Structures are given as structure tokens and as C-alpha cells.
Amino acid sequence: MYEISNEGMTDAEFEQYYADLKAMFNSEGWKQLTADAEDEFAVHNSVDLIPANQSLDFHRGYIKALTWLLDRPVSLENEAEERGSKTF
């Protein structure tokens, strides 16, 4: 799965990073983006729909990228908890 390492950030840098992403996750644009990604996920999350001339690996990568995007808010909360962030 895709990972973003925040280990090199100072606590202050992480607090700002966390606050910026939380603001983005609460925006109307993020809600629209995730709705579109959920629709794409529903359409592409079946091997039965893969035409014979397309690569299964391509679709797997596409689904992984969509999953990472959709799971990012939860991942951020987990990262903040692990760092003991005071931002929540």
C-alpha cells in the first residue's frame, strides 16, 4: 500500500500538516472527489469487468490508489494518534 512517512517532520511541522489535511478533508471539494472515487471503485472493483486486452495488474494498482485516497482521513488520524498529536 502507499505510505507517506512523516517521521522526518518536527512536531510543529506535523501539527500544521495535520491541520491542513483536516481542513481539506472537511472541504466540499474533498467530498466531491471522494464521491467520484467511490463511484470509480464500485465500477472497477471486479475482475469480471476487465476486458481480455487489459492488464489485471493495472486494475489492481488503480484499486490500490483509490483505496489509499479513500482511506487517507483514517490513516491521518492513526498517524496523529501514534505521534500523540494535540491537534485532534
pLDDT tens string 47-64: 777 776 667 788 888 889
Query: Does the predicted TM-score (pTM) go above 0.75?
Result: no
Q: Are 38 and 70 in contact (CB under 8 A)?
A: yes
pLDDT of 87 over the 80 cut: no
pLDDT of 1 over the 50 cut: no
Helix H segments across 1-88?
A: 11-25, 28-44, 56-83
| Alpha-carbon span 45 to 41, nearest angstrom | 6
Give per-residue pLDDT as tens, 6-46. Answer: 778 888 898 899 999 999 999 999 999 999 999 988 887 77
